[in-house]
Amino acid sequence: MKIYCLVIALVCSILQTQAQITSEQEDSQNIRKLYDLALLNGQSYSWLDHIANNIGGRLSGSLQAEQAVEYTRTELEKLELDKVWLQPVMVPKWTRGFPEYAYVESAEGITTPMTISALGGSVSTNPLGLRAEVIEVKGIEDLAHYGKELIDGKIIFYNRPMRPDLINTFSAYGGCVDQRYSGAEEAARYGAVGVLVRSLTHKIDDVPHTGSMSYGDLPENKRIPAAAISTLDADYLSSMLKLDPKMEFYFKLNCRNYPDVESHNVIGEIIGSAFPQEVIVVGAHLDSWDLGDGAHDDGAGVVQSMEVLRLFQRAGISPKRTIRVVLFMNEENGLRGGNKYAEVADQKHETHLFALESDAGGFTPRGFSIDATEEQYQQILEWKDLFEPYLIHSFEEGGSGADISPLKNGKTVLAGLRPDSQRYFDYHHADTDTFEAVNKRELELGAATMAALVYLVDKYGFEVVGNEEVSAN
Ligand SMILES: [Zn+2]
């Protein structure tokens, strides 16, 4: 009897191991197929061509943003997904108006033009422009050092550069972005009349980089104009101020804030064959800044997310769970699309198993940043070897993406595609963010990498989501 039991146990164990090997082989083959399809016959690059070159920069509330909504909806419909729809969302509308103009006057009648760009959401200067002395600081914390008396009536020039020694350039960005986001609000409290912010890039050139800013709860009559200044001109201005601290800076902004307008998130899905009620989101933001074509930020993520669903179809993989692409509106200056999506998902009591965002540029994928419980994270790590042939090595715990962050609930696993970040801030929010700056292969590799992770999550689910058992096969 004992021997009989032993034999049974042995056979079971062999069968189990074999099943595991077969499953691993199947995963490896399917992932290979997804990469092959993306590289041999991908569609992400031609979609991006249209979005960047035929539509261009698409700030929320603009005609181009609406064109991007229509175009991506039409393209998703062409894929013949199970369902494609638009989700209404109210978004802010801000326009830049005529190009900004700025100069410094180093001696009477001797002026040097400066390249600046209004920050998104900034008020305009008065129609004649603004002229004042400049105080250079290395951060908001320096304002207290100067105090109200010295700052009153001056332009505050935030000139803390991004740290070059940080390998992850997003960390360097994170170390400076408060100057851009809150610099005007804080300087206005000290009586400043305007704000200049060193562009958030490592590159020393004459390209200003815009981005969002906030006045917090400042009343309208206290709001002061704010602009980014190119790194080259920030260095020039800094050196000139050392020679003559009384030197004056002139700038004129023509931007304008309007009441909110209606726009849309664009959504499409393949309904799951076994667990249709479990949703896997793959997404990016459809809006971009108005300066360039928004090719890296975030056109790349948009077309990669669309491509994930197309790759599933072409590979003949019928997902068990519902795979949903969401193209979020208004990440750049409001996050209204991301908030609206999470709000509606909550109202409908939808179960989101996993959400993956691509919003770090269309560069060579390195891996993922994962926001999950320890058990969920460990499960993802078990799949690491399957990514080895594609040089995808980085599976780190950390933030995911702005648009999917409102889905965070302690159960849904969130992740962000993490491409190489070294060149991202050369283009970020600037007029250099064009189609030409995106490499076709790198873009396609990113799409395939996303599809591979979605494939594994769809196939295996997650063992435990919070305290509830969720189907794990
Ligand atoms: Zn972005």
Strands 365-371 and 394-397: parallel
CA 285 to ligand 1 centroid distance, Å? 7
Q: What is the per-residue pLDDT across 93-125, written as a single tens digit (0 to 9) for each?
A: 999 999 999 999 989 999 999 999 999 999 999
CA 216 to ligand 1 centroid distance, Å? 22
Q: Say yes or no to pLDDT of 224 above 90.
A: yes
Q: What is the per-residue pLDDT across 323-332, written as a single tens digit (0 to 9) for each?
A: 999 999 999 9
Nearest to 404 by CA among 219, 265, 275: 265
Place of tokens 């899905």: 269
Spatial separation of the C-alpha atoms in residues 142 and 160, rounded to whole Å: 11
CA-CA-CA-CA torsion sign (293, 295, 296, 299):
positive
Distance from chain centroid for Cα 100: 26
Mean pLDDT of 132-141: 98
- Which amino acid, residue 305? S
Q: Please report which confidence band the pLDDT of residue 12 belongs to, taking 50, 70 and 90 as the band edges.
A: low
331 is catalytic: yes
Read off the pTM.
0.94
Mean pLDDT of 130-159: 98
CA distances for 41 relative to 32, 33, 158, 324, angstroms: 14, 11, 47, 22
Residues in Cβ contact with 224 at an 8 Å cutoff, skipping those fewer than 6 apart: 123, 184, 187, 188, 192, 193, 194, 195
Mean pLDDT of 429-449: 98
Amino acid 126: pLDDT: 96
Q: Say yes or no to pLDDT of 79 above 70.
A: yes
CA 418 to ligand 1 centroid distance, Å? 13
CA 337 to ligand 1 centroid distance, Å? 13
The single residue of 331, 332, 357, 444 carrying the catalytic annotation is: 331
